Amino acid sequence: MKVEQEAAVGLLPALGPVQLVMLGVGCIIGAGIFVITGSAAAQYAGPAVVLSFIFAAVACACAGLCYAEMAAMSQESGGAYSYTRQAMGPRIGWLVGWNLIMEYLVAASFVAVGWSGYLSALFSSIGMPLPEAFSSAPFAMEKGKLVTTGALINLPAMFIIAFATFCAVIGVRRSAWANTAVVITKVAVILVVIAVGAFYVNPDLWVPFVPQNTGEFGHYGYSGVLRAAAVVFIAYIGFDAVATTALEARNPQRDVPIGILGSLVICTLLYVGMALVLTGIVPFTELNVPSPVALAVERMGPAMGWLEPLVSLGAIAGLTSVILVLLVAQPRVFFAMSKHGILPSVFGKVHPTWRTPHVGTITTGLVAMALAGLFPIDLLAELVSIGTLTAFMAVSASVLVMRRTHPHLPRPFRVPLVPVVPIVSVAVCLYLMWGLPGDTWWRLVIWLGIGIAIYEYRRRKTGTQS
């Protein structure tokens, strides 16, 4: 009887459009706005990094529109995995889902390492530095090889993973409200920095708005604007996590597209505002620092000293919400895979009280804690981008496939200008993947090889094509 009751319990449809938008903003706005804005301006585009963010937003919106059409059609959780499985078959769907595992799991780990760094900086600023042996990774990357650092373990990074995992387990409604509270905090901090900083902007620092090219492609000039767009594109990653919560949306055909596109619009406005303030207060050539926002606050003068702790608070809040959303998204991919028989059925179990895939959530949290506690941020970050771009490309291609193979299926939301929008999305993803280091490609090949082996093993064991 207990088994039957548990089987009848499904995921709780508790999320409305506002909560889904907040989930998207929670996952997109993180270290990007506090770091990437400054480095992209200093190295590639100057003040025209504003244009780079707009170009990247348009390119990312193409992928977002494709996600929105597939999400409106789908009756499953799992995001890109479910969409590509429906359009291109179980094998391709599994490989895309396998890449999503790399995206969400590793991204949660490397963001946790960044969270630990900001927390350490905050404690140091108030004269209470954390012991480095217990707040740093015991391994580091040097010339492509792992070396020991002398540290023992990164406890703050493990703590924030454990906290986010607990929030994700006890219920999607509670997780969504916790995420909303954190998102409101970090967006408020960003708006305060933009509003106060506007009074310190020197318009002369925006001239020339597009610095003259140095003779090297991508180093200022309009080629630099394009190169910076490729760099800041990564700052928009995260909206796809909204698609994994389709079964927990009250009206998924309407609310999931709103969540995806609404979060993209809000984040673009915040990125553009922050870019204008930073380049208007600090000469763009000086912005290639780990904390450009803190530098801008410092340049405002001693009277603005009260704003510096707020910047650290905003960064910590920003990264907290990113981790939470990623740890909500990953178990939903596991959940969908288990329903198709390609992962053990235990990952499809739903807690009878909290109505969450608790086994998958706890498993994800434990693995993420181990990665965050041991490995450096640069190694973890390299593994994220290529998996994400592969998923974007696959979903965009799925729209074209489904339009041809299932033209009469109801589409509550339709991508405009097909096939132009999906093709642009695929082309942008390929361009960005082409620019990634060779080592990243080898890691992708190895990861896909492991995924194929797991798929074939499960297929033979279950005797199905699922």
Assign residue 89 the CATH number of its domain: 1.20.1740.10
Task: Assess if residue 128 is contained within a domain.
Answer: yes
- Quote the CA–CA distance of 311 and 293 in Å, as a whole number: 7
The number of beta carbons lying within 10 Å of the beta carbon of residue 149 is 15
pLDDT at 377: 59
- Quote the CA–CA distance of 271 and 139 in Å, as a whole number: 33
**What residue type is 174 in one-letter code?**
R
Please report which confidence band the pLDDT of residue 391 belongs to, taking 50, 70 and 90 as the band edges: confident
pLDDT at 425: 92
- Quote the CA–CA distance of 59 and 198 in Å, as a whole number: 28
Answer positive or negative: Cα dihedral of 440, 445, 450, 451: positive
pLDDT at 402: 95
- Quote the CA–CA distance of 426 and 394 in Å, as a whole number: 8
- The residues that bridge with 249 in the sheet, in sequence order, are 15
Whole-number Cα distances in Å, 303 to 125, 188, 282, 297, 363? 17, 20, 17, 10, 48
* CB neighbour class for 445 (10 Å; exposed up to 12, middle 13-18, buried from 19): exposed
SS3 15: strand
pLDDT at 369: 93
> Among 3-7, 165-169, 398-402, whose mean pLDDT is lowest?
3-7
SS3 144: coil
Answer positive or negative: Cα dihedral of 369, 373, 374, 377: positive
**What residue type is 368 in one-letter code?**
A
Angle at 358 (CA atoms; ends 357, 364), nearest 5 degrees = 95
Backbone conformation region of residue 410, classed left if phi is above 0, alpha if psi is from -120 to 50, else beta: beta
pLDDT at 74: 77
- Quote the CA–CA distance of 1 and 342 in Å, as a whole number: 26
Please report which confidence band the pLDDT of residue 2 belongs to, taking 50, 70 and 90 as the band edges: very low
Residue with tokens 């209470």: 128
Task: Assess if residue 3 is contained within a domain.
Answer: no
More confident residue, 432 or 40: 40
* CB neighbour class for 52 (10 Å; exposed up to 12, middle 13-18, buried from 19): buried
Task: Assess if residue 6 is contained within a domain.
Answer: no
- Quote the CA–CA distance of 157 and 146 in Å, as a whole number: 19
The fraction of the chain above a pLDDT of 90, given in percent, is 26
Residue 202 is part of which domain span? 17-462
Whether the Cβ atoms of residue 249 and residue 166 lie closer than 8 Å to each other: no
- Quote the CA–CA distance of 47 and 353 in Å, as a whole number: 52
- With a cut of 60, say whether residue 82 has pLDDT above it: yes
* Number of domains composing the chain: 1
Q: Where are the alpha helices (DSSP H) in 134-214?
A: 155-169, 172-197
Q: How far apart are the first and last CA of the chain?
A: 29
State the average pLDDT over residues 19-42: 81
**Phi and psi at residue 146, to the nearest 5°:** -80, 130
Whole-angstrom Cα Rg for the chain:
22
Task: Assess if residue 79 is contained within a domain.
Answer: yes
**What residue type is 121 in one-letter code?**
A
- With a cut of 60, say whether residue 69 has pLDDT above it: yes
State the average pLDDT over residues 145-173: 86
Whether the Cβ atoms of residue 51 and residue 225 lie closer than 8 Å to each other: yes
**What residue type is 237 in one-letter code?**
I
The number of beta carbons lying within 10 Å of the beta carbon of residue 235 is 23
**What residue type is 305 in one-letter code?**
G
Task: Assess if residue 454 is contained within a domain.
Answer: yes
Whether the Cβ atoms of residue 255 and residue 22 lie closer than 8 Å to each other: no
Q: Is this structure's pTM higher than 0.75?
A: yes
State the average pLDDT over residues 15-27: 83
Please report which confidence band the pLDDT of residue 365 belongs to, taking 50, 70 and 90 as the band edges: very high
Find the helix or strand (DSSP H, E) in which 263 lies: helix 252-281
**What residue type is 285 in one-letter code?**
T
The number of beta carbons lying within 10 Å of the beta carbon of residue 385 is 19
- With a cut of 80, say whether residue 114 has pLDDT above it: no
